[in-house]
Amino acid sequence: MGFKHLRYAAGILGIALAATVASVPIDTAAAAGAPVHAQETSWTHAMNQLPELTREIEARHVVALADAKTSLRADVRTADDLFDSSKGKATDESRRALKVESNRAYSLVILSDDETAPPVEQVQLKAAIESVKGEVAAWEEAEAARVAEEARLAAESAAAAAARPVGHRTSGGAASGQTPQQYLEGIASTYGASISWSGTPCGHFAGSIGGCYQGGSTVYVSIAAYNSWSSAQGRGRNVVLHEASHMIIQGKCGTVLLGGSRFENVTDAYSVLLGGGGTGYGYNDNDMMLATAALGGECLAG
């Protein structure tokens, strides 16, 4: 037990002695001048109380210190989790201040023997936590607004593309001397992809318009896609955009399986955001939400 607690014990002992002396009645013989025997029992009783008082003080100190450290330790865990999750969302200065306070608080949890110290540090740590939380909330609000704006612009672009006459959906198209094949290859190259043409891409779609994606920057499309301008500007274009969407999602999210078992539906939704018309998988609101988030660079779990 530290000096501070011994001082408390001495103070309490003094009070006990004072109370004991005050409670002893005045002997009439002593008042008359007759000899009086010393009241040894009062002093002995007070001294016998000292160990019990000391134990009580120490017990209360231990409980108070444990409670203060437990509360502070919980805030240290919150601060450490927030420090990790706030990277890129809060300023380096605020995160650095949070880590400093977290380290100070943890030192008190490990080393302090003073129950009054943890609550004081806890105030400082909570202030640092709230500062970083505020910056994270502001970043998340701004990011949500950015993603929503990108989705809005993409939807407007898709609507405008769908509204344009089919004959004008090319970048020059037939008017500039392109062939249907070159037209589709130009669409793919816009997104950094190249097309591998086949009568049966990935072993399927013999005699029909279809495609597949197997990784990398190559998409596989059936030659039927460029049989005519109507084929190229219709389903051929939609298939190329769908397969290019697989490639883009793979690049952004590390997998084509965005949306789990509905990854084809999500991919169709993504191709619509690129201005395509879908390839027949269809999509629901959740598929479109995942596609829109991916368009903005955020890969959500399905």
List, for residues 40-81, the tens digit of each pLDDT value. 456 565 556 666 666 766 777 678 888 888 999 999 999 999
| pLDDT for residue 221 | 97
Residue 43's pLDDT is what? 58
d(CA 79, CA 72): 11
pLDDT at position 130? 95
Helix 40-85 crosses helix 3-22 at what angle (to 10 degrees)? 150
pLDDT at 12 over 70: no
- Look at residue 108 and tell me whether its pLDDT is greater than 80: yes
Q: Identify the weakest region by mean pLDDT among 11-20, 122-131, 172-181, 236-245.
A: 11-20
Share of the chain above pLDDT 70, in %: 74
What are the tokens at 251? Answer: 């690049």
- Given a contact cutoff of 8 angstroms between Cβ atoms, the answer to whether 279 and 235 are in contact is yes
What whole-number percentage of the chain has pLDDT above 90? Answer: 54
The larger pLDDT score, comparing residue 112 to residue 172, is at: 112
Contact residues for 121 (Cβ-Cβ < 8 A; gap 6+): 72, 101, 104, 105, 108
Q: What mean pLDDT do residues 110-138 have? A: 92
The predicted model gives 166-184 an average pLDDT of 65
Q: Is the pLDDT of residue 35 over 60?
A: no
Q: Which residue has the tokens 């002997």?
A: 27
Q: pLDDT tens digit string along 216-234?
A: 999 999 999 999 999 999 9
- Average pLDDT of the chain is 81
The pLDDT score that the predictor gives to residue 175 is 47
Residue by residue, DSSP assigns 217-282 as TEEEEEGGGGSSHHHIIIIIHHHHHHHHHHHHHHHHHS-S-TTGGGHHHHHHHHHHHTT----S--
Q: How confident is the model at residue 300 (pLDDT cuts 50, 70, 90)?
A: confident
Q: What is the pTM of this model?
A: 0.46
Specify the pLDDT at position 185.
95
Confidence of residue 3 (pLDDT cuts 50, 70, 90): very low
- Chosen CATH of 3-22+41-138 out of 1.10.10, 1.20.1270, 1.10.3470, 1.25.10: 1.20.1270
Backbone angles phi, psi at 197, to 5 degrees: -90, 140
Which has the closest alpha carbon to 99: 116, 121, 84?
A: 84
Please tell me the predicted confidence (pLDDT) of residue 177. 78
